[in-house]
A = this chain, B = another copy of it.
């Protein structure tokens, strides 16, 4: 399995490192600018790199585009201009349909690692589900072989499923993280350490992973404890956005609106 990786950003960095660790034959790294490419090449013990499309290795089994969503078509266009329209290209994005590659090549798909990547945080790639989409059965097979080689669990999904997955991840990951941030801010206004609610967060996630979250919902909203909810909204009144978030989510949990009372505040 001979792979070329395009993009030495956050995901590209983690993915390339892991591919090499798992003895995948990473032929070359491409990056638009040299700085990140040099850094990644060094990290990989001198893996060849280029910043010029015309010097990209032509005979790889797979070209993985790991760049920002809106740059994917442009990279695919340049890549196929240099290497022809028969190469197998996948992107790594949750938000973009694999069809964006269709104008450029007859072999395309998506290799989407469902995880959140931060620059300086090491990830255990083998714990990451890889979501695979391809235009043909044989291309899908090649992606499955790559997943197997690197020891990842893979799921074969459609573009529509990947879109849903991405939206579900925004709720389950990005938004929950934001709520923890709100929580930390609220605690700090009263000189309470963020660590005080760590055990609560851990237990909440533990229960939500071994149950259906709806079955282990707790708190004032599910008890329809309007006195407590009103007192919380009163407390939040200097922060209209937080009030709105509190009210909206509480009403959804309670399964009924109580706007008349809340808007009295």
Contacts and interface: CB of A to CB of B under 8 A. Distances in A.
Given A173-B218, A217-B174, A244 B248 contact: yes
Nearest to A193: B155
A199 to B, nearest CB: 5
A173 B219 contact: yes
B200 A213 contact: no
Chain A interface mostly:
helix
A115 to B, nearest CB: 6
A99 to B, nearest CB: 14
A207 interface: yes
A246 interface: yes
A174 B228 CA distance: 14
Given A114-B199, A174-B217, A181-B212, 9 more contacts: A118-B207, A129-B199, A131-B196, A164-B189, A164-B192, A168-B192, A173-B197, A173-B201, A178-B249
Interface of A: 69-70, 95, 114-118, 121, 123, 127-129, 131, 155, 157, 160-161, 163-184, 186-187, 189-192, 194, 196-205, 207-209, 212-214, 216-222, 225, 227-228, 231-232, 235-236, 241, 244-246, 248-249, 251-253
12 contacts: A70-B227, A95-B225, A114-B197, A129-B199, A164-B187, A168-B187, A174-B218, A177-B216, A184-B214, A241-B252, A245-B252, A248-B248
